[in-house]
Amino acid sequence: MGDVGVTAAQLILARAEAAGVVVEVDGDRLHLRAAAALPTDLVQELISAKAELLDLIAEREAIRSELTPPASGGAADDPFDVPQDEMLEGLRHAALRRPASWRGVDAIPTTGCWCVCCHGNHWWCRRVAPRCWLCSTCHPSPPNTATIEVQT
Ligand SMILES: [Zn+2]
């Protein structure tokens, strides 16, 4: 044993796994699990490539465990796994979003609201018709216009 190259060992492993064999390493032992009896030549090849297979599988396990994030790092993987206060803050922020202008002079800009276009928080409304609320950045008030201004 130990006289088979790594590439050959990879091929043997691939053949074994394609045949439904689960190859596991336990220290310096190779465990083979298969639902059905294996062809003798495949078993023979697996045995002759044991040393390389042990290295191959150990290396594969190491890479796999590196790819698996630590349990505490779940937030990055699952966009819905967010602490509740962060989620509430996000929802509150989204709820305070306003268009750059809207009809309905009674719908006064509320504290904390922000313009969906420029993220601004300064609004104005004419004192006389036509009256609507507008973002001061996106829709600056024309000169010499009597306005009501609100900072949110
Ligand atoms: Zn704006």
Say which range, 7-11, 44-48, 68-72, 94-98, has the weakest mean pLDDT: 68-72
What is the rounded CA–CA span in Å between residue 37 and residue 33?
10
How many CA atoms, within 13 angstroms, populate the side-chain half-sphere of residue 27? 1
Residue 133 pLDDT more than 90? yes
Q: What is the pLDDT of residues 88-121, one digit of tens each?
A: 888 888 999 999 999 888 889 999 999 999 999 9
Q: Ligand 1 centre from 140 Cα, in Å?
A: 9
Percent of residues, the chain, with pLDDT higher than 70: 89
Query: What's the mean pLDDT in 62-88?
Result: 74
Residues near ion ligand 1 (CB < 5 Å) are: 100, 115, 117-118, 120, 135, 137-138
| 14 touches 49 (CB < 8 A) | no
Q: What is the pLDDT of residues 24-41, one digit of tens each?
A: 888 888 888 888 888 888
Query: Which is it for strands 29-33 and 122-126: parallel, antiparallel or unpaired?
Result: unpaired
Q: Ligand 1 centre from 101 Cα, in Å?
A: 8
Query: What's the mean pLDDT in 126-130?
Result: 89
Q: Ligand 1 centre from 98 Cα, in Å?
A: 9
What are the beta bridge partners of residue 29?
A: 26
Q: What is the set of domains in the chain, with CATH numbers?
A: 6-67 (1.10.10), 91-151 (no CATH)
Query: What's the mean pLDDT in 76-89?
Result: 79
Q: Ligand 1 centre from 149 Cα, in Å?
A: 14
Taking only Cα atoms into account, the Rg of the chain, rounded to an integer number of angstroms, comes to: 34
By CB neighbour count within 10 A (0-12 exposed, 13-18 middle, 19+ buried), where does 123 fall?
Answer: buried
Query: Which is it for strands 97-98 and 114-115: parallel, antiparallel or unpaired?
Result: parallel
User: For residue 39, what pLDDT is reported?
Assistant: 84
